[in-house]
Structure formats: structure tokens, C-alpha cells
Structure 1
Amino acid sequence: MKQKNIVLLHVLVWLLLVLNDVIPHFIGNEYAAFKAMPKDAALLLKYTLISIGFYSVAALCFYGSCLLVAPLLFLHKKYVKALLIAVLMLAVLSGWRYAVEFGFFKPVLGFDNYKGNHVSAQYYIGNVFWYYYPKYFVYGLMYFFGENWLQGRNREQALQKEKLVTELAFLRSQVNPHFLFNTINDIYALTYQKSERAPEALLKLSELLRYMLRESTDDFMPLQSEIDYLHNLIELQRIGAKGNAFINFEVEGYVGLQKVASLLFVAFVENAFKHGVLNNVSTPVNIRLLATNDHIDFTVSNKINNSQKDKLGGIGLNNVKRRLELLYPGKYKLAVTANDHYIAHLQLQLNP
């Protein structure tokens, strides 16, 4: 909460306390000094000023406890100093209340809280202590403790959020170079052979890089943009394989305004390209995306190419698993099986 809003909240609370004190006293006209006065604006003003005077002592007690004593107790552990300040506050509060009652209430408003009786200093200080300290002094300590705990929690949450944002940005920036290097080599080969498809392949690669470097800076992107990215990725693979890549990509259901984590599906597809059999028409790579308004079912299946090993390894699947944990906690199911075929099945509940 902003500091300005906190100040306004405090003012409102004290105003409500004053009104809660003034209204019943005014309606009942409880003070004997005012019994003969009519219930008009002048009488209401007198009751209001008296209530403000008494609550000014309460406010000094509350904020003295909160701002002076509580930090020494809870933060700095200086108990003796806190006790000395609490005692000094008692003297100040007693002096302030005396000034309010005998310097303003009695001579200006004609209100004598003690009906002419003599008030000793010992009685006065004791009265202030037993009336204000059990309530407003303790309230000040409780308020400081609660506010300090809440601020600490907010700081911890802010740091945690910042950490997650940093981690997500790092994960999003991790582009697996395997596919990129292979694609550049394929385009170089097409260019060397003066293939008519070289410019098309270069354009597809440019579109992929543009999406990764610009559009995917957000955590979430339109589902349709992710689908378009996969289409370009698959088409680029087909071009590089010179027509010998058999890949089926099916999109079913409703694709509208849904948003999904950017570059979430690409790791599964690239994994199929890296480790799968692409050149056998009888065992194509099958990619299926079923979408509803709030759910996505994504499956990638490929026959495992046992003769093709990626010695460099990869970070793709580990990357996407971590991003799922951060962006869809408790809202996803990922099942991976590897026998003769490698199958990755992701069920995703979309964020509202």
C-alpha cells in the first residue's frame, strides 16, 4: 500500500473513533456542564473538540509506541532503552493531557472533567497509565509487529517474483543451437546447389528467429502464433531434408484468443527431429494439438532412430519442464514414454 493511502487510512480510523465517541455523548448530552445547553451545532462542536482532545492523547500513545518503542523492542533488541522511552512517554502524555484539560477544556469550553476536585500528579499519571497504556500502547506494539511482518512478507514475495522472472527470462533465452546449426548447414547446401528453395528456407529461418528474438519476449503468446511458429519449423525441416521428411501436424478444436507460454511446444518437436526417424513414410513424426477454450492436449510421437545419437546432449526438455513448473503449477500433466517410439504427451490447463 502506498504511503499516501496508509496516511489516509490512519486519518479515517481516528475520525471514525472520534465520531463513535461524539455521537452517543451528544445524543445523551451526558456531561453535566452542558445539560442546560440546547442540542445544536454549538453543543456538537463542544463534544467534538473534547473527543478530539482525549483522542489526541491516545494517538500520541499509539504512535509513540509504534514508532519509538516497538523498533527498539522488535528490531534492535534494546529493551532498557525501550523501557526508558516508555517511561518518558508517560510523562509527556500526562503533561499533554493536563494541558488539554486545564488549558483548553476548562477555560475555553467550560468543561471540568474532575468537577472542581483537586487532582494530584500521582493520580493523574496513574490514570493516564492505566487508561491509555493497556490499549493504545499495546495497539501500537501490535501494529508495528504486524506491519513489519507484512512488509517482510511482501519483500520476500517481491524478491521471489523477481527471481522467477529472471529465471523465466533465462530459460526463454536458451535456444538449442543443434537445430539452428543444422538448419544453417542445410541452407548452405541448398545455396551451394543453387536450389530454388534456398530463398524460401532462408525466409523461414528469418521468421523463426524474428519470433524468438522479438515476439517471444513475453511469457505468454497467442496460441495461433505458436502454431504458426511450429508450421514454419516443420516446413523448414522438410526443405532441409529435400522432401524426405515425413511429418504430420494436426491442429484440432478451437483456436481463438487463448494464450500459452511462448516457445513451449518447440522443444518436443525439435526433440523428435533430433532423435526420430524422419525419412520413412511408414513411421512419420506425428504432432497433434487439440485445443479448447481453456485446455490444450499436445502429443508428439516419433520412431526412435537408434543410429542417431546427439553427443552434445540438449537442454530442451529440461527447460520446458522447468517452465511448466513455474508458469503452470498444478495445471499440467506431462507423460513421456520411450520404447520403440518416443511419445511426449502434454495436457495443459490454460491460465484464465
Structure 2
Amino acid sequence: MKRKQIIYIHIIAWSFLFISSVWLSHLSKGPQTTNEFLKNVLIQFCYQIIPISCFYASYFFVAPQFFVHKRYVHGVLYSVLTLIGLVTLRYVLEYYFFIPVLHFDNYRGHPWPVTDYVENVFFYYFPKYFIYGQLYFFAESWYRDKQLKQELLQEKSTAELAFLRSQMNPHFLFNTINDIYSLTYQRSERAPDALLKLSELLRYMLRDGNADMMPLSREIQYLENVIELQRISAKGDAYINFNVEGYVGQQQVASLIFISFVENAFKHGVLNDRDNPVDIHLTATGQAISFAISNKKNNAQKDHTGGIGLSNVKRRLQLIYPQKHELDVKDDGEFYNVNLVLQTGL
């Protein structure tokens, strides 16, 4: 459902409640003059501000603390602040607007103590509108997550097909197979290991990589295999640094999320410059995974056949890591740098 449609639904719902309160108040008061009716409408409108404020304070400020950030102390604190704010709002309306401006005294000259205001707000508005805000946030989050999962499945299928077209291209496979054949023909000791790496790479891409999330250790192993096969394909004339730092334990990461940047560096970067190698750096902690890659651009490269494409990678990140990732891409004409941070939350 579009955001504009949701706003319209909210307006209609509150308008219905407002009209209902005006009508019930009108029936309880009996016949009224036009001025009395308009005055009553304004009073009911002001009273409607309180449940509206209660509902949206619960929805925008309190519910996210409980259901998203898991900051329960903050949630309780925001709840208390909401209660104080509503009590203050009720008091200001009664004594600074109704009495001096509208000449309407709801308590007939007997002012309520503060405790009565607190009890009124806590026992009348909180059991309804405050809880409604919590329930609405929960329902909306559930529906949004369901929609994202469906969209992710569609996006993942598209991304996988594009990825396979990129990575499983004949040039890469045939060159690697030919290189392994040459190693075998020469009876090189590297041939069995190269063949094993190619087998592991294909297995991961075609079978294991179909999972939404994979252990970080498996993703690192996959990248190592790709890098090693690239070195074999370049016949030792490829300068690639791949460093892994930090703690690699039980972290889960979106499958095949890094390879797009690596493939882009190999395809459009300079690999045979000893002074400017392709630098790939991955740092892992219990809370985040940082991935950085830098390469000198090959401006003479005419192969414009892309991989998944940066736009699709960004889309996957938005779907899998909403508000939990930072992607910074810089292209200064000579070097291409990518920095990606994923919040794992372990």
C-alpha cells in the first residue's frame, strides 16, 4: 500500500472518530444555537488532539524502542514522557484555552488536582490509544517485513540470473579450464589444487549460494577461491592482496554480496601493476562486517559487460540490510574504491 493511501486512511479514521464525538456530544446537550454548536465542535476538536497525540507518540517514539531497537529502558522512559506530555496538554487546553477563550469550564469551578489528570490520561487514553499505537506499529512492521521478503525473493532470483551470466561467462570458465589443463599437461603439482578450487567455487555458486544467508567463513573461502583462480588465469601476473582481520565466528552474511565488487575490480581494474595491487580488506567483529576494495582503473578496458550492477547490489542491500548498512563508492578517475559496512548485530 502506498504511503499516500495510508495517510488518507488515517485522516478518514480520525475524521470518523471526530464526527462521532461531535454527534454524541450534540445529542447529549439537546437543542443548540449555531454558536453553541460551533463552540462544541471546537471543543471536541481540541479534545481529539489528545488521543491523536497519544497514538502517534506511541507509534513513532515508543514502539520502535521496544520492537526494533530492543531498548526497553528507553521505551519505558518515552512512555513516561508521553504520559507527562499528555497530562500537560490536557491541562493547557482546560485552563489556558477553554476557560479564558471559549468560556467553557469542564469542572464547574472545581479545578482538578494534578493526580486526577494523571489518572484520567493513564486510565482512559493509555489503555486504548497508546496500545492502539503499539499494535498498529507491530501490524505494519509485520506487513512490511512480509512484503520485503516477497520482494527479496523476486529480487534475488533476478540477481542470481544476472550474477550467473556474469560469473559463469565462457571467458572465465574456458580460460580457467584451459589453464588447469595446461597445468595438468605439464604435470604441475598445482593442477589438483586448482581443479579442487574450481569445483568448490562452482558448488558454492550453483548450490550453496542459493541460500539467503551464509556463514561468513564460507563467503571468505569462496572469495579466496575466486582470487586464486584469477591468479592462475593471469599466469602469476596478478597482484591481489586479500586480508581478513578480526573475529570470524558465527556471523551470517548475505550470500554472494561481496563478489560483485571483486568481479568488477578484476574486470575493469589493472591486475599486473606490482605497485598498485588490487587491495581487498575484510574486517569482522561481533557487531559488524567491514569490506573494502580498491583497484587502479584500466581505462583502456573496453569490456563493458557488467556483473549484477551497482544499482542491483544497492537494492539487495536495502532489502537484506534495511538501515543496517553503509555503502560508499568513490571513483576519482584513476582509482576505484568501495567501502561497505554491514551491521550483523551478533
* TM-fit CA distance, 1:338: 1.0
* TM-fit CA distance, 1:151: 9.7
For residues 32-51 of structure 1, the C-alpha deviation after alignment (integer angstroms, 9 at most, x for no partner) is: xxxxxxxxxxxxxxxxxxxx
Indicate yes or no: 2:303 matched with 1:310: yes
2:224 alignment partner AA? H
For residues 94-132 of structure 1, the C-alpha deviation after alignment (integer angstroms, 9 at most, x for no partner) is: xxxxxxxxxxxxxxxxxxxxxxxxxxxxxxxxxxxxxxx
1:306 alignment partner AA? N
- 1:205 equivalent among 198, 209, 212: 198
* TM-fit CA distance, 1:296: 1.1
Q: Specify the alignment match of 2:335 in structure 1.
A: 341
CA RMSD of aligned residues (A): 2.7
User: After the TM superposition, which residues 248-327 of structure 1 pair with which residues of structure 2 at under 5 Å, given as runs?
Assistant: 248-327=241-320
| Higher mean C-alpha deviation, range 185-194 or range 265-274 | 185-194
* TM-fit CA distance, 1:162: 2.4
2:342 alignment partner AA? L
- 2:150 equivalent among 162, 165, 182: 162
* TM-fit CA distance, 1:192: 5.4
* TM-fit CA distance, 1:234: 0.3
Does the 8 Å contact 1:328/1:351 carry over to 2? no
* TM-fit CA distance, 1:310: 1.8
Give the SS at the match of 1:313: coil
For residues 3-28 of structure 1, the C-alpha deviation after alignment (integer angstroms, 9 at most, x for no partner) is: xxxxxxxxxxxxxxxxxxxxxxxxxx
Tell me the matched-pair count.
204
Does the 8 Å contact 2:167/2:307 carry over to 1? no
Q: Specify the alignment match of 1:217 in structure 2.
A: 210
For residues 299-345 of structure 1, the C-alpha deviation after alignment (integer angstroms, 9 at most, x for no partner) is: 00000011112233332433321110001011111111112110001
* TM-fit CA distance, 1:154: 7.2
Does the 8 Å contact 1:297/1:345 carry over to 2? yes
- 1:242 equivalent among 235, 242, 249: 235
Distance 1:252 1:304, change over 3 A: same
1:169 alignment partner AA? S
d(CA) in 1 for partners of 2:141 and 2:250? Answer: 35
Distance 1:304 1:151, change over 3 A: closer
Q: Specify the alignment match of 2:3 in structure 1.
A: none
d(CA) in 2 for partners of 1:295 and 1:153? Answer: 24
Distance 1:231 1:155, change over 3 A: closer
Does the 8 Å contact 2:231/2:238 carry over to 1? yes
* TM-fit CA distance, 1:218: 1.6
Distance 1:152 1:253, change over 3 A: closer
Does the 8 Å contact 2:227/2:240 carry over to 1? yes
* TM-fit CA distance, 1:164: 2.8
d(CA) in 1 for partners of 2:167 and 2:221? Answer: 18
| Higher mean C-alpha deviation, range 242-251 or range 311-320 | 311-320
1:184 alignment partner AA? L
Give the SS at the match of 1:224: helix
Q: Specify the alignment match of 1:350 in structure 2.
A: 344
d(CA) in 2 for partners of 1:208 and 1:346? Answer: 23
Indicate yes or no: 2:167 matched with 1:185: no
Q: Specify the alignment match of 2:109 in structure 1.
A: none
1:334 alignment partner AA? L
d(CA) in 2 for partners of 1:286 and 1:228? Answer: 17
Distance 1:201 1:163, change over 3 A: same
Does the 8 Å contact 1:303/1:341 carry over to 2? yes
2:175 alignment partner AA? D
Does the 8 Å contact 2:325/2:341 carry over to 1? yes
Runs of 4+ in 1 over 4 A off after TM superposition: 150-160
Distance 1:351 1:185, change over 3 A: same
d(CA) in 2 for partners of 1:175 and 1:335? Answer: 21
d(CA) in 1 for partners of 2:308 and 2:280? Answer: 21
Q: Specify the alignment match of 1:145 in structure 2.
A: none
Give the SS at the match of 1:315: coil
Bigger Rg, structure 1 or 2: 1
**Unpaired runs of 5+ in structure 1?**
1-149
Does the 8 Å contact 2:296/2:336 carry over to 1? yes
